[in-house]
Chains A and B, each alone.
Chain A
Amino acid sequence: MIAAAQTRTLAPEALDAAAAELLESGGRMQMAWALVPPGTRHPELCYLAAPGPRRPFVVWRLSPQGAEVPSLARRTPLLSWYEREITDLFSVRFTDHPEPAPLVLHAGADPPCPVLDPHCRAEAVPFAQVPPKFPAVSGDVQLLPFGPVRADVVESARFFFFYIGEHILHYQPQLFFKHRGMEQTFQGRDPGPAVVLAERVSGVGSCAHALAYCQAVEAAAGSEVPLRARRLRVLLAELERLYNHLHYFGQLADTTTLKVGQAQGRLLEEQAKQINARLTGSRLLRGLLVPGGLRRDLAIDRALVRELGVLRGETVGYVRMLEQTTSYRDRLHDTGVLDAATAFDQGATGPVERASGLDRDLRRDHPYAAYEDNGLRVPMERAGDAYARARVRAREIDVSFDLILRLLPQLAAEGPIRGDCRPAPGAEGLGWTESPRGSLYYAVHCDDEGRLARVKIKSPSYSNWRVFPYTVHESNMMDYAINEASFGLTIAGCDR
C-alpha cells in the first residue's frame, strides 16, 4: 500500500477497461513502473492514475506472474515509453505495443538478466553500437544524424532529422546515451543518506528531486515534517525555479541571436546562483534536504531580502525588454506549435503543458510542503507555440517572487527543522513536486530491513521529450533550435 495514494489491485485483463473508464471520467494516467517485491520472483507492475485535481492519486497494481501484459499505449499514448522502459529493465513483454523497440538500453546492449531485478547482480552490461529503428522512409530524403557530441557545452543525445532543404519531414531523437542506472544505485541504501543520490539525478533540478524523494520517504514512514522546514522547502524550490527560468530566457535569447539578451539572462542566473550559495552553501541548492526536514537551518537576513528585490527589478526589466524586441517575438510566434490534444495524449507537463491550454500544476492541485496555505496563481496560455511557453515562464517568475516575498516574513520565527523519519520494513511511499520543468514523481519501496528496494523516478523531461518530436515534424530547420530552447528540457533528468 503506497502512502499518499490509494491502491487498487487489478488483473491484467481488466487493465484496458479501467484505463478507458479513467479517461472517460476526465482523469489521466501519469506513469507506470515495475518492481520485484522483496521475497518474490516475478516483477509486479504499478500504474499511477490521477482521477483529477484535489483528488488523491490511485496506484493500480498488477501481478502478471511472468505472463505478457496488454499494452495500454493505444489508449494512452504517453504510456508507450514507460512500457518500453519496463521491457528493457525488467524483461516484461507487452502485447500489441505499437512501437516495440529498446528505449532505455540501446539496441546494442545485451544484459544477461533484467538489470533492475535485485536478484540480478549485473555489473556492466555488454554494449555495442547499433543504429536505432526508424519508420521506413522511402523517397529521396536526406538523413542528418546530429550528435551525440553536439556543438557548444550541451548534453549528449542524438537527433535524427529526415529532411529536404529546410523542411523537416520527420524527426526522431535518440536519448538515453546518458542513462547511468541511477535507479539501481538507490537499491540497498539507507533512505536517509540516499537523498544525496536524488539530488544528483538532475543537477539543475536538485532541490525538486530531493524534495520529491524526501516526501516519498516521509509518506512511507508516515512522518510529519515541521512547519518551518516545509516553508523553507518552498523557499528553496522557488529559488530553484528562479534560476532555472532565468537560464531559460538566456538560452532563448541565444537561439534568437540576441547577444546582449543572452548575456543579461546568464548574468541574472549567476546572480540567482550566488544568492543560493550565500544562503545555503551550494549554488545548486544541494546538501540541505533530508527525509524528515532540513539538515541545517538557514539564516534569512535583510541582505537576502534586498538582493532578491534587486534581482526582481532587473528581471522584470529584462523580460519586458525581451518582449519588446520584434525579432525575438517574430521568431517565437507560431514556432513549434503544440496542440492541446497532443499535449494531453503524450503527457506533456509543466510550462509546456500550460502553454497549450492544459491547466495543471501540482502545487495547486495536489499541494505539498507549504503550498496549501500560500495561494498560488497558475499562469496559462492557449496558443501552444514557443512564445506561449516563454510567456508562461515569464509569469511564473513573477509568481515565484511573490511567493518568496510572502514567505520571508513567515520565516522570521524560529522553529524545529527536522523530525524523525524512519520507514518501516516493507513501507512504500509516493512523493511529488512541481519542478521548474513540470511534474516530478518519486515512488519509493522499502525492503524488509527498511532499506530502499526500488525507487522509481519520473522526471518531467522524460514526459516532455516524448512530446517534443510532434512539434518538430513538418517544421523547418531554422526554427529547430528555437523550438528546442523553448521547451527548456534536460536530458539527464530524462535519461537518469
Chain B
Amino acid sequence: MVMWSWFGLHRGKATTGWPRPGGDDGQAGVLGMPRFDPQCCRTGCRECIAVCPSAALRPAPPGSEPPLRIDYGRCLGCQLCVEACPEGALSPSGDWAFGVTRREDLQWQRAVESSAGQALGQRVAALRRSLHIRHLDAGSCNGCESELQALSNPFYNLHRLGIFFTASPRFADLLLVTGPVTAPMREPLRTTYQAMPEPRLVMASGTCAVSGGAVAGSYNSGCGVDQWLPVDLYLPGCPPNPAALIEGLLVLLERIPQRVKGGRLER
C-alpha cells in the first residue's frame, strides 16, 4: 500500500524561491542570446551571416556602423555565429530572459532611447495577481511545450505566482501562442482569440511565434503570430526555458520591469 500523500509530505518543498532574491532560477549553465560587441565587428566579414539558419543576422546598409544588424526575434540560440565569428564580436552568454512588449526592442541598437510608456497598463491592472492562460500550439516543435509543461512541476510551481493554465478560452486572459502558425492552424488561432472575453492579451512564446524561426516562409508555415493577432509580449528563445517564461509573464503583468532595451539585456 503506497502512501503517496506521506511521500509528498516527507519529500518536503521542492519549489525554488526564485524570482525572490536569493532564489535559484534553475538555469545554471543554460546558454542564451549571443552578446554583441560592435567594437570587434569587422566590416566586410560575413562569416556569421553565412551560418545563421534563421536570418537573424543581416548586413547593415553600407556606411552605417556597426556593419551587422541583429534581430533577436529570429535568434535560435544555436551559437553557430559565436563559433563562426573570427573576431569574437559575438560571445556566448546566459541572457535568456528576453521578454519584451514591443517588437522593436529585440533589434540590436547602439543608442538606447528612454523606454516609452507601456500601453498595457489598463488591460493588465486587473490581472496582475491572477492570470489565466490559454495555450495554443500553432505548429511548434514541441520544445516550447516541454518547457511550458515544466512550469507546472514542483520546481517552478507556476501557481504560487497566481498564474494558471485553463482549458477553455472563455476563462482565459492571455493567449500564449507557440509555433510559427502553420496554415491549418490559422483558423483555430483566430477562433480561439475571438472566443476570449475582453480584456485579453496575446503572448508570442518562442522564436517561431515571434518571427517564424527556422521554418519561416515555408509552404505551410507563417512568420509568427503578429501576422494574425496583436501581440502584447514577445519572448524569443528556442525554446525559452521555464525561468524565461516566468520572467516574460511577470514583465507582461508589469510586476517586474522590462530589462531588454535595444536588443541588450541590462544587468
- A: residues with CB less than 8 A from B are 105-106, 109, 111, 115, 122-125, 127, 129, 148-149, 151-156, 176-182, 184-185, 189-190, 193-194, 196-197, 199-204, 206, 247, 250, 258-261, 263-264, 266-267, 269-270, 273-274, 277-284, 286-287, 295, 321, 324-325, 490-493, 495
Do A492 and B141 touch across chains, with their CB atoms under 8 A apart? yes
Do B76 and A149 touch across chains, with their CB atoms under 8 A apart? no
Interface code B155-196, partner A: CB below 8 Å = 1, 0 otherwise? 110000000010111000000000110111111100010000
Bound together, the chains give a CA A266 to CA B242 distance in angstroms of 13
Bound together, the chains give a CA A124 to CA B186 distance in angstroms of 13
| B2 adjacent to chain A (CB < 8 Å) | yes
Bound together, the chains give a CA A128 to CA B11 distance in angstroms of 52
Residues of A within 8 A of B92 (CB): 281
| B252 adjacent to chain A (CB < 8 Å) | no
Do A178 and B4 touch across chains, with their CB atoms under 8 A apart? no
Known: A156-B137, A196-B53, A196-B214. A123 touches B4 (CB 8 A): no
Known: A153-B145, A283-B147. A178 touches B155 (CB 8 A): no
Bound together, the chains give a CA A281 to CA B93 distance in angstroms of 10
Stretch at the interface among B61-69, B115-123, B218-226, B259-267: B218-226
- B: residues with CB less than 8 A from A are 1-2, 4-5, 7-8, 11, 14, 26-31, 51, 53, 76-80, 83, 92, 135-150, 152-156, 165, 167-169, 179-180, 182-188, 192, 213-215, 217-221, 238-239, 241
Known: A181-B218, A203-B140, A258-B4. A196 touches B78 (CB 8 A): yes
Do A180 and B53 touch across chains, with their CB atoms under 8 A apart? no
Sampled A-B contacts (15; CB under 8 Å)? A124-B183, A152-B135, A156-B185, A177-B188, A178-B140, A178-B182, A196-B214, A197-B214, A204-B142, A206-B143, A247-B146, A260-B5, A266-B149, A324-B2, A495-B139
Do A266 and B153 touch across chains, with their CB atoms under 8 A apart? yes
Using CB atoms, name the residue of chain B closest to A274. Answer: B26
Which DSSP category, helix, strand, loop or mixed, fits chain B's interface? loop
Do B218 and A177 touch across chains, with their CB atoms under 8 A apart? no
Chain B nearest CB, measured from A276 CB (Å): 9
Residues of A within 8 A of B155 (CB): 267, 270
Which DSSP category, helix, strand, loop or mixed, fits chain A's interface? loop
Residues of A within 8 A of B29 (CB): 277-281
18 A-B pairs besides A178-B139, A178-B185, A287-B77 with CB distance below 8 A are: A149-B192, A154-B145, A156-B138, A178-B140, A179-B220, A181-B220, A190-B51, A202-B142, A264-B7, A266-B149, A266-B152, A269-B153, A270-B153, A281-B30, A283-B241, A284-B143, A287-B79, A321-B4
Residues of B within 8 A of A280 (CB): 29
Do B31 and A287 touch across chains, with their CB atoms under 8 A apart? yes
Bound together, the chains give a CA A281 to CA B29 distance in angstroms of 5
Chain A nearest CB, measured from B79 CB (Å): 5
Known: A196-B78, A260-B4, A269-B153. A156 touches B143 (CB 8 A): no
Residues of B within 8 A of A125 (CB): 183, 219-220
Chain B nearest CB, measured from A86 CB (Å): 16
Q: Which of A109, A177, A261, A491 has its CB near the most chain B CB atoms (within 10 A)?
A: A177
Do B142 and A149 touch across chains, with their CB atoms under 8 A apart? no
Question: Which one of B4, B150, B180 contacts A266 once the chains associate, using CB atoms below 8 Å?
Answer: B150
Bound together, the chains give a CA A267 to CA B146 distance in angstroms of 13
Question: Which one of A155, A269, A273 contacts B142 once the chains associate, using CB atoms below 8 Å?
Answer: A155
Residues of A within 8 A of B185 (CB): 148, 156, 177-178
Bound together, the chains give a CA A37 to CA B1 distance in angstroms of 62
Bound together, the chains give a CA A194 to CA B219 distance in angstroms of 18
Chain A nearest CB, measured from B15 CB (Å): 10
Chain A nearest CB, measured from B184 CB (Å): 4
Known: A180-B218, A321-B2. A196 touches B137 (CB 8 A): no
Residues of B within 8 A of A273 (CB): 150
Chain B nearest CB, measured from A143 CB (Å): 18
Do A274 and B136 touch across chains, with their CB atoms under 8 A apart? no
Residues of B within 8 A of A177 (CB): 139, 182, 184-185, 188
Chain B nearest CB, measured from A195 CB (Å): 9
Residues of B within 8 A of A151 (CB): 167-168
Residues of B within 8 A of A261 (CB): 4
Residues of B within 8 A of A263 (CB): 8, 153-154
Do A200 and B143 touch across chains, with their CB atoms under 8 A apart? yes
Bound together, the chains give a CA A284 to CA B140 distance in angstroms of 15
Residues of B within 8 A of A491 (CB): 142
Using CB atoms, name the residue of chain B closest to A284. Answer: B143
Bound together, the chains give a CA A153 to CA B167 distance in angstroms of 9
Bound together, the chains give a CA A206 to CA B144 distance in angstroms of 12
Residues of B within 8 A of A127 (CB): 183-184, 186
Residues of A within 8 A of B180 (CB): 180
Bound together, the chains give a CA A323 to CA B152 distance in angstroms of 24
